Amino acid sequence: MNNGITFSISKSFGRLDLIPTKDGLKLWYAPVNNGEMQPDAIGAVDLDIPLEAIGGLWATARAFLYGVESLDENIILRGTEGDILVKLYRDKPKGQNGRLSGEEVCWLRIVTGRSEEERRRIKLGPRDLLCIELACNAVLVHSTSEGAAAMSAAPMKRAATA
C-alpha cells in the first residue's frame, strides 16, 4: 500500500500509476477493458525502476516537456524471466534540417515480452510528461532527504592532528 503521492496517466486502454519511493519509481499499469480496469489481465505490469535510472528518465521527460533536443531514454531491467524495456522517446524531428518543430509526439513504451499484450505503448501529452517529470523529481527529493538524514545521524569522524 502506498502512503505517499501517486501520479496517474489514464488512457482509454489503460492506466499507468507512477509511485515515487526512496529507492526508485514504481510503475503500475492496468489495462482497461469495456471501461473497467483489469489489474489481473494479461498486460498488467508492476515493476520498479531503480534509483540509478531516475535521473536520466527525469532529464529526458523534462527535455521533452520543454521541447529541447534530447536523446531517447532506454532503461533495461534484467530479470530471471527475461529483460524488461522501459523507453521514453519521441517521433523523429519534423522541422527543417532535422530540427524539432514542436509537433513531435512523445511515447512511453514498456516491453515485458513478445506478445502484443506485453508491448505497451502510451502516447504522452504535456500533462503526462509533467507527471513523469514530477514523479522522478519526487523520487530524487525523497532519496536525497533520506540520505541526508542518514548522514546527519551518523557520527562524524575527525582526522587526528599531529
At 10-59, the pLDDT tens digits run 999 999 999 999 999 999 999 998 889 999 988 899 999 999 999 999 99
More confident call, 111 vs 161: 111
Beta bridge mates, 159: none
pTM for the predicted model, two decimal places: 0.84
How far is it, in rounded angstroms, from Cα 63 to Cα 4? 26
pLDDT value for 116: 87
Classify domain 7-143 by CATH architecture: Roll (2.30)
Of residues 159, 117, 140, the one with CA closest to residue 23? 140
pLDDT value for 145: 77
pLDDT value for 158: 46
At 92-124, the pLDDT tens digits run 998 888 899 988 999 999 999 888 888 999 999
pLDDT value for 162: 43
Residue 115: all three cell numbers together: 506478445
Instruction: Confirm if 71 and 87 have CB atoms less than 8 A apart.
Output: no
How far is it, in rounded angstroms, from Cα 106 to Cα 61? 9
How far is it, in rounded angstroms, from Cα 113 to Cα 102? 32
